[in-house]
Amino acid sequence: MCETTRRSTLAAALALPALAWPEAPGRAQAPARPAEAPRPLFGAKQWRLANGLTVVLAENRRAPVVAHYLFYGAGSGEDPPGRSGLAHYLEHMMFKGSAQVPSGAFSRTVAREGGQDNAFTSRDTTAYFQHIESSRLALMMRMEADRMAAPLFNPAEFEAERSVVMEERRQVVESQPRARFLEAFDSAMWGAQHWRGRPIIGWMEEIRAITREDMLAFHAARYAPGNAVLVVAGDCEEARLRDLAEETYGRIPPRPFLPRDRSAIPAGPVEARIERRDPAAREAIFLRAFAAPSATWGEVQHAQPLEVLAHLLGGGIGSRLHRALVETGLAVGASAYYEAETAGASVFAIQATLRAPTAPAALEAAIEREIRRLVEGGVSEAEVARSRRQITAGALLALDGLGAAPRILGSVLTLGLPIEEAEHWPERVRAVRREQVEAAARAVLGSSFTTSGWLLPA
């Protein structure tokens, strides 16, 4: 019962510029229409219960269904030293019963009502959700509030679920050469015990060491109403949700919680370069990552320009890396990645898959030339405009699903960012200018805090 999630948002306004028709003789020119205020993506309403729980409603009456998401401001980045994987293991155990809901009954009830439920853990948050017919929302809220207040962490099932988590690690990490490499890469760059260097699922030996007392302490410290965000999207009126929230979550007493405290980043990478040869690897993959600011840490003014930079550099056909590496036959594929909405430091990463018979050194040299050309020569207005347009226009389809609004709103609010960060993201992207992209590129791609790595077939 787990998902082990880049945020996409819908452009607030996609109006085309008006055509300039010639003025007819003798006809007075019509006064210019005032510019419309930017429209929020979701028009969500937000309030807070007396116990500290933040409640958000993104009403959408297209169909009689709702998405009910409960986010906690605690992910793998909050795992205690020596107990990596605790947040994820706890997510599993939250399905093993609470005061009023027996073990396994939660998901069986959702399925019986024709709905779907699941949960996911990221570095920044843990979330539990259900998609259900709107008349069954009250039932979902009662059950979710029950396990917020009093999960059992059933001792009789604790070891069996540990085995499930360990097997999940074997399947999603240890049996996959690329996953093994990425785990080793993060550890090499940040350190095996830094919150960015630890895997979300945890190191195997530390999963074995987690005790039920560790889990109870983590839940008591992090799973308080004041450290949680409830997001409901779909067919629900505000008055109804206010009443239901008070009747369910509102009965949970307030309690103090441990604020998020991401440790400072190292002065530089633990290892500037790694190479892994793996008999199971079928392709040679190059990865280079740079420590980068985010919307919550460092030079936050670079966050949106870095989103544009990542698309400009490695956002598919038409990007610089595609032209320099794929179209020239050096690589099968090339991309760039950056995430602004994260707690603490982020990373700006470049990845390429070698095309035989290209030598690894030749591909790496070509990537370094493109980085240097961008930092020293800057970018064009046309490139920036293309990236802004494609980033925001692509959000139309991404927001059509029932779970898109809750995931975006919940992840932003659990980072401590204002709801406007989600509602007006497209305007901020469209406001990015060439000079800002160039300044962000110099600040990040010119940094000495960078690690390069190769995954090579044995």
- Kind of pairing, strands 126-133 and 65-72? antiparallel
Cα dihedral value 323, 324, 329, 335, nearest 10: -80
User: Cα(120)–Cα(4) distance, rounded to whole angstroms?
Assistant: 6
Q: What is the dihedral of CA 337, 341, 344, 345, to 10 degrees?
A: 20
If one counts every other C-beta atom within 10 angstroms of the C-beta of residue 103, the result is 14
> Cα separation of 151 and 8, whole Å?
33
Q: By the 8 A CB rule, do 7 and 394 touch?
A: no
Q: Which of 23, 36, 78, 91 is flagged as catalytic? A: 91
Asked if residues 380 and 318 have their Cβ atoms less than 8 Å apart, the reply is: no
CA 385 from chain center: how many Å?
25
CB neighbour list of residue 26: distance below 8 Å, 6 or more residues apart? none
What tokens were used for 132?
């259900």
| Residue pair 435/381 in contact by the 8 Å Cβ criterion | no
What is the spatial distance between Cα 316 and Cα 264, in angstroms, rounded to a whole number? 33
Q: Which two tokens stand for residue 334?
A: 């090339």
Q: Residue 458 and residue 323: Cα distance in Å, rounded?
A: 29
Exposed e or buried b per residue across 407-439, where buried means at least 16 C-beta atoms within 10 angstroms of its C-beta: bbbbbbbbbebebebbbbbbbbbbebebebbbb
Beta bridge pairs of residue 117: 130
Question: Which residue has 């920036």 as its token pair?
Answer: 384
Q: What are phi and psi of 212, to 5 degrees?
A: -65, -35
Indicate if 91 belongs to the active site: yes
Distance between CA atoms of residues 359 and 366, nearest Å: 11
Number of neighbours of residue 374 by Cβ within 10 angstroms = 21
Q: Nearest to residue 227, comparing CAs of 252, 257, 200?
A: 257
Give dist(CA 272, CA 295) in Å, integer: 25
Give the DSSP H or E segment for 190: helix 177-190
Task: Say how far residue 393 (Cα) sits from the centre of its chain.
Answer: 19
Both tokens assigned to 113: 């009502």
Residues carrying an active site annotation: 91
